[in-house]
Chains A and B, each alone.
Chain A
């Protein structure tokens, strides 16, 4: 291409990658602002507003046909916008939840919001990538911001430990990932997802390609916290400030899964030969992830750690859909990610509110919260919705999400996987309901004095977020439009391929 026309292309494509650029720009503004007026009170507002603007912008692009911009480096419209909405929604909600939380623990740093903006921008880039290099840039932008956010409370040794662990393991997995990309490039000669499948007849693919795919998948599975690459999740989730944990657990997972969906749907998944092999591999990973995630969550006393393990299990449910590998399954995975984000942001938000005295969630046992449901009905009731939804009870969103991932698996002949999946989620019934049992049914005698008096504050902004999440979960399954929208993203031939 001509350099001169390249500038024209970039200018015309600006709107397509608008939210990524916008978030990075505001991130820079926030950090510069923070230099001159340290920890200014306006910063959370600026950051939140900018995410809100990006959210509205992407929301109206959801029904646009999918296309690519910036020389096919990123996708825009359709599925890309849908996943951006998921990411931005969870970013916005976590920002609102973290303002009172950080004030409560005396850490209202301005740079937190800048870092969240950078992380969000990286996530959107990752979730809308159409090229391996874009995936890598997005992944690293997201990860580096998240490493810092995990250890942002410098005086807390636990947080530092988590951050270091996250950083070291994350860097290690990035190595796998990068090596995988290199091998795939060596085998196919392209970095574009769509070209990988189109340009090369399958018989020509060398073992090199499949080794590359395997390494590449290892990197991804690490980021989404699938067993056996899950070791970092519980520690990191427990150590990080709670609303930021919610952010990590939902947005980063949504972004990584979205990228995986794009790679599989446009690239690797379209290859005939060997398709069954990687499907089986994914199915096995899904199996152990679902089983181990749920079993390990059973034994946790700390709510945050329990939610961390349960998020492993939920990654397993999405992997079930990816293993099925049909259009309906990819649609189900994307749908599930949205619902999962709502459930987990809500659950982490509620837990954040319960750390009223600055005591880290790391130390707070479930039993100290006995009887909180009657003292703070708002937290109790919304937590009830989140827990039942996470368990997958109808008519809550979690049920429809699970339906969307299990049904295609059954259709694709993975009935055994669906059966193991539902049986494992019976375990999840036990540990999620245990939270409700402590909240509503356990006698309050042996609980924390602050719970018994019920004197800790519940900020209005946080209440609004919790109620919003709960109401959305109650109604989302009955809005046919959303499920249909996700199905329409994966209609064959709907995607404009390379120029």
Chain B
């Protein structure tokens, strides 16, 4: 019980900090205060890692207080917890918190207070997304992240910031509002079937509800559409380069590091277990889109002249791997997708940080304005090379683990067309090396082309503090991925079991046979040894 309220503290400490910060006097104190709050949140979240029971990672842990939201008579409740899918994402969010504050330290010069207040609100929203086990609560946190992000891009962004900000919000709104209708529909349907006719958005009740096949397809489409925009999956990705490039460095890091993961997390958390038959029916379509995203994102990255845009498009490519892994529906590929989400958050986050640091020095992001700067900024170059290699998936660094698992898992997948798609996706790994190494060679190595870069200062202490932990994580996760993989294994196993069980159920046409099957399943569940998707009954 105490540990549960620890989770609530992790979620809401940034929000409390934001409210307190409104009373802060000077800009200087605001920065320190924001750092204090985010660091405190990170420290608070560390016990989540150590207190987490890996053996039962498929179940909800750190449950805290629970109370009805909106109305006593509707089954919409405040219910947060952590399972094997959420743990690492929560930790990633809290880890990036202080880093984002530090990287904005000198970058943000105007209306500092507003910036940090929004940043802290954003963190509460992001953490909540990964902990919410009520679909409507998830939706509230999911949308809560849009408001601060709109202002972060729109006020502190680059030249075309307004276009980018509005595009970002409108794009996401289309998807999430359609998802809201789907949530309502699902809530009533599930309420009638499993909750005595009371509208419910409780995750576990929805999970125990076998959505009829006809309904599954379009509910799946509405859910998947919202998440596909957020990820973004290929044809819906056009908001991403604009938002990424125009956002201030801190905003880009958060976007790449955490916000995109809300999409892939949503796919794993909701789309697959709620609508398994529809998910399986759509694996080929989504697989193709994912592979197009991988190859297209990589090719477009290669064509960029702007370093930040290159990193932005590389996100499309990397997230394509994650989506491919999720819809390959094997244990390895889903675990690979989970770990790849974290890897992408760290390595792409670090890429954005370094590009931002260069931008702060020279106020340009065009790669042609750099060249051979390894001589003037050797330490920065070291971190850049390390990050780029991690991002390209060099064995021994973190990126390799995720991509390898995804590709191995997807190749062995029984889903139609998956092996062929995997082969094409593998070219994405090569292309990633091409565009990243090309960027390295153009910007950092060779002769010094622009004289103004000769006396560029190298990393200062603050920037080292930002980059060293990220670099350490890249190496640690690359060399010892086991502890990180172990966390998601039981959850992924459970997920695959649920999918298979529900599909088997759906294949029984006769309603009376379905009922028998249901009874058998219930009986099997009550036996202690068998896996039970509804272990937690509120």
A interface residues with partner B (beta carbon < 8 Å): 374, 388, 391-395, 399-400, 403, 406-407, 410-411, 415, 418-419, 422-423, 425-426, 429-430, 433-434, 436-437, 440-442, 477-478, 480, 483-484, 487
Contacts and interface: CB of A to CB of B under 8 A. Distances in A.
B423 interface: no
Contacts of A410: 181, 184-185, 188
A436 B181 CA distance: 27
A437 B155 CA distance: 9
Given A423-B174, A441-B155, A430 B69 contact: no
B161 A441 contact: yes
B485 interface: no
A478 B140 CA distance: 12
Given A410-B181, A425-B177, A442-B162, A393 B146 contact: yes
Contact of B147 (A393, A411, A419, A425): A393
B155 A407 contact: no
B479 interface: no
A43 to B, nearest CB: 37
Interface string B145-165: 011001100110000011001
Contact of A440 (B143, B151, B174, B178): B151
Interface residues of B, number: 36
Nearest to B67: A480
Interface stretch (B70-78, B383-391, B406-414, B497-505): B70-78
A415 B150 contact: no
A399 B143 contact: yes
B170 A484 contact: no
Contacts of B170: 426, 429-430
Interface in B55-82: 68-74
Contact of B111 (A374, A388, A406, A418): A374
7 contacts: A393-B144, A403-B180, A419-B181, A423-B178, A430-B170, A440-B154, A480-B70
Given A410-B185, A418-B184, A429 B69 contact: no
Given A419-B178, A480-B72, 20 more contacts: A388-B147, A392-B177, A393-B144, A403-B70, A406-B180, A419-B181, A422-B177, A423-B178, A429-B173, A433-B166, A436-B151, A437-B162, A437-B166, A440-B154, A441-B155, A441-B165, A442-B162, A480-B68, A483-B70, A483-B71
Contacts of B68: 480
Given A374-B111, A407-B199, A437-B162, A478 B181 contact: no
Contacts of B150: 433, 436
Contact of A407 (B162, B166, B184): B184
B144 A395 contact: yes
Contacts of A418: 181, 184
Contact of A393 (B143, B161, B181, B187): B143
Contacts of A394: 139-140, 143-144
A440 B71 contact: no
B152 to A, nearest CB: 11
A390 B432 CA distance: 44
Dominant SS at the B interface? helix
A395 B15 CA distance: 13
A441 B181 contact: no
B11 to A, nearest CB: 13
Nearest to A442: B162
A395 B185 CA distance: 21
Nearest to B111: A374
Given A433-B166, A477-B70, A483-B70, A406 B143 contact: no
**6 closest residue pairs by CB, A with B:** A422-B177, A394-B140, A483-B71, A410-B184, A441-B154, A394-B143
- Give the one of B71, B139, B155, B199 with max A CB within 10 A: B71
A422 B162 contact: no
Contact of A487 (B71, B136, B146, B178): B71
B438 to A, nearest CB: 35
A306 to B, nearest CB: 16
A484 B140 contact: no
Given A429-B169, A484-B72, A415 B181 contact: yes
Contacts of B155: 440-441
A190 B94 CA distance: 66
Contacts of A477: 70
Nearest to A415: B185
Contacts of A436: 150-151, 154
- Give the one of B111, B166, B184 with max A CB within 10 A: B184
Nearest to A385: B147
Given A410-B185, A480-B69, A426 B144 contact: no
B70 A400 contact: yes
A424 B147 CA distance: 19
A395 B69 CA distance: 11
A429 B143 CA distance: 13
A426 B226 CA distance: 14
Interface in B102-155: 111, 136, 139-140, 143-144, 146-147, 150-151, 154-155
Nearest to B172: A429
Given A393-B147, A437-B166, A426 B184 contact: no
Given A410-B188, A437-B162, A395 B140 contact: yes
Contacts of B146: 393
B151 A411 contact: no
Contacts of B140: 394-395, 399
Contacts of A433: 150, 166, 169
Given A423-B177, A441-B161, A406 B70 contact: no
A478 B72 CA distance: 11
B191 to A, nearest CB: 9
B177 A426 contact: yes
A344 to B, nearest CB: 20
A26 to B, nearest CB: 36
Given A410-B184, A441-B154, A484-B72, A426 B173 contact: yes
B195 to A, nearest CB: 14
Nearest to A419: B181
A323 to B, nearest CB: 15
